[in-house]
Structure 1
């Protein structure tokens, strides 16, 4: 079998430049384009593949540059090709960077095995790259499975990267990666992205890896030099695992036994199970020195994303508090520029035998945030954010109680059905506050003086109460219809809502004062007296 779809020599990859023009390139040529920040996007890349692809390119660049004793990217494709080949001295023809190679030789993200062995594997061949990819959907409702019948080689490449570097446990013999906290977890990413194209972030993150290499080695016990960096170079019969002490700190892993081959020019994937994980790392709980994965300081385990995704509460912990150690790529320096920086969070939310959606969210880094990161003083930001989180929770609780009064016809006790209905109406309120949370917070923390920050906070409080009131009044149409019952239910709801805010219990003292100063006090008293 000859080598096919050789990334070092064949234009397998496509990217679009800032003008939208498409380019077909080799991997070395892509690295040159990234160095020139000439890459706008990859047209065939699916959303859930974005982080694995970025991590793959970044880790590979860092491995290559360190191996060549370089700190800056090479300027030509010829130099990149030579340095990449130097990583695989036993395969100088580029087999390890080809999608198809003889079975007993490494292919890209595919470990060698015995000649002809893949044809004895009992699993049915995967005829489409999305059948190989890591997404697990429910009855084809989310993303249709195995629909990429007329796929290009790059589609198979992206599927391979996605499977081998972010997949979890999926039944006996189908083990997940080492860079996640357990088989049903995820490989989340959280880091800063500078202004510019994809190449800016790629160069920045590769430089971060190189700058922190020794720190990662010392902290995690990797092999300082000559460790296994490209895990697919080692033959794997499915029975043995690699230890961390054998690995390079930037290692790119594989978790499944896969071989691609071509039948009449059409690619397909042959797969089988393994008896154990490729990397023995269960006790590390996903804390592997990954440049993008947040790790909890107390538990020492990697973050795992659930169905709620990156909501405002979790992002506050990641961005401002000390609950999670800052990732290597979240650290901001003067080299990142003064404007246009964003914090990017990405992950597949996984469950037991399923995925619960791709999650991605961006937070603009304001001037106050940038200065706090540069100085290491983020406590004031955390306090401002946590104060707002507590207030939103308290207002939601008041709103929920008012909705229970509305749907319960003014009765003091509410059935489970009424509570569930109130939840359905109160949840969109919190979701809307989640959506605008950081935009509103930045107005306050970027204000130039203490007085200006207090004014911004009070304006936010007034707007928050107004938005909650709109949710309540919109729910009136779903309350009782009979005139007497409708009046009683709506009056009870208003009494609970205004009374709860007017009481000013912690943490709503400031909100009660602000609304009273704005003339709401007389209105509240009138409503309560009418009830």
Structure 2
């Protein structure tokens, strides 16, 4: 394969991607076929230049690309040699046998990697210029909300690759002419990455997700009315004048999309970019609400729309719903039927929260899956898991509510005439103590949950957790004493009233943790009986 001089930075032949080798930690520079061979051998530890918010786009790109190539080759097993991968990838671009579509820089009238060919105009007229890779990245970096932009002034080709991929496969709407991707629920939504990974290095997850995509390919075509073998898989291969949208029904189920008109150029040996707006989104999919068959996007069944990540990120409540409830339809990468007994698995959630002209953080959570839970999920037996998790979520909510009330009593010096008004007055102080309580429970939620599921006596384990919840909430309340009244009898009255409110609430008929209510009533009855016998 000979690369013409006007074609630069070809991923099929040039070692542009750095990874750290799993066996010895040594940094290796590889081209894309070499990287695929290393992933298949599980020899990739990580990518030094990859930023956290770029992790899922990069993983998804590598999985989709390999799945497209393997399907075209009519096989499911990964190729063993670099040459085999190079040949099958090049075969995906028959109109560009010289590799132009795999180069970061090619003539504007031809496709380049993740860049559509320009139709009937000169890119020299495009006014949006960037000289640092992170300037073209999605909003999280380009507008300085979460990371400072324009830091990568000495950007390497791989920096441009990762930034370009981030922009083209997870960006949303950003004003007129700047449309977002099809694989999310609206222009101000977010693209989640939810799946199951074998504990260890990226290669295991890569192989697992490829198998998941290939297994469900026909089902995805049927459910989403996509094209079969003749669908457009690499969207950047279609020329784009910025005026028209591609029909969703003409796409391959594994399609890798682009959403912006952008071209990379090489000036004096350095890469820079130019961009222009468009009159329409690249893919006509607005009415789909993100229901595109994406392998990592859960679907809100009742709402009929793709999951959108809020500013709260992947809380224990949301992750519980994603793992155990029927509220969300699990994407292909989340299914457990690609696992064998004994596998050490991790539930992975990733994504950037977007809004109107802003981002609200990158969120990532990895939750180990215990052996018994794995077995139940593999058999799709979620009912018991949903029930147990739901009981604990309710318990945490109830305990936080009781803690908040006790804190209000404390800050009101033990005298609360109007609870609602008192809540408003002391909201900031109350939240200062009650929020960390829930955050701590969030952090330990799944490890505690698995102890009950795996226990020989689940009831005893559950009661022990309830009692621990009480202890941790009471400890927070006592920590708040220093922030309450400090003078004489007022101090002791406030603290005593707060503790009384807290312990009284645990025994109330209105308290929605019946196991605790019954336990404390039994303890009270037992104490009264012992006192009576002693008398």
Q: TM-score normalized by structure 1? A: 0.95
Partner of 1:318: 322
In the TM superposition, what is the alpha-carbon distance from 1:446 to its structure 2 partner? 1.1
Partner of 2:33: 28
Where does 1:421-460 land on structure 2 (aligned, <5 Å)? 421-448=429-456, 452-460=457-465
Partner of 2:532: none
In the TM superposition, what is the alpha-carbon distance from 1:300 to its structure 2 partner? 1.5
The answer to whether the 8 A contact 1:3-1:98 is kept is: yes
In the TM superposition, what is the alpha-carbon distance from 1:522 to its structure 2 partner? 6.4
In the TM superposition, what is the alpha-carbon distance from 1:149 to its structure 2 partner? 0.8
Note if 1:196 corresponds to 2:204: no
Note if 1:290 corresponds to 2:298: no
Where does 1:41-440 land on structure 2 (aligned, <5 Å)? 41-114=46-119, 117-123=122-128, 125-136=129-140, 140=144, 142-333=146-337, 335-412=339-416, 413=418, 414=422, 416-440=424-448
Q: How many residues align?
A: 519
Give, in whole Å, the separation in 2 of the partners of 1:115 and 1:170: 25
In the TM superposition, what is the alpha-carbon distance from 1:31 to its structure 2 partner? 0.6
The answer to whether the 8 A contact 2:350-2:364 is kept is: yes
Q: 1:17 to 1:482 in 2, by over 3 A?
A: same
The answer to whether the 8 A contact 2:189-2:355 is kept is: yes
Q: Counterpart of 1:445 in 2: which secondary structure?
A: helix
* Unaligned 5+ runs, structure 1: 524-531
Q: Counterpart of 1:427 in 2: which secondary structure?
A: helix
Give, in whole Å, the separation in 2 of the partners of 1:161 and 1:301: 24
Give, in whole Å, the separation in 2 of the partners of 1:152 and 1:362: 30
Cα offsets for 1:183-222 (capped at 9, x unmatched):
1111101111013321111111011111111000000011
Q: 1:41 to 1:137 in 2, by over 3 A?
A: closer
Cα offsets for 1:195-251 (capped at 9, x unmatched):
332111111101111111100000001111211100000111111101111100100
Give, in whole Å, the separation in 2 of the partners of 1:157 and 1:334: 31
Partner of 1:529: none
Q: Alpha carbon RMSD of aligned pairs, Å?
A: 1.8
Q: Which shifted more, 333-342 or 383-392?
A: 333-342
The answer to whether the 8 A contact 2:12-2:102 is kept is: yes
* Unaligned 5+ runs, structure 2: 529-535
In the TM superposition, what is the alpha-carbon distance from 1:501 to its structure 2 partner? 1.0
The answer to whether the 8 A contact 2:134-2:141 is kept is: no
Q: TM-score normalized by structure 2? A: 0.94
Q: Which shifted more, 503-512 or 86-95?
A: 503-512
Q: Counterpart of 2:44 in 1: which secondary structure?
A: coil
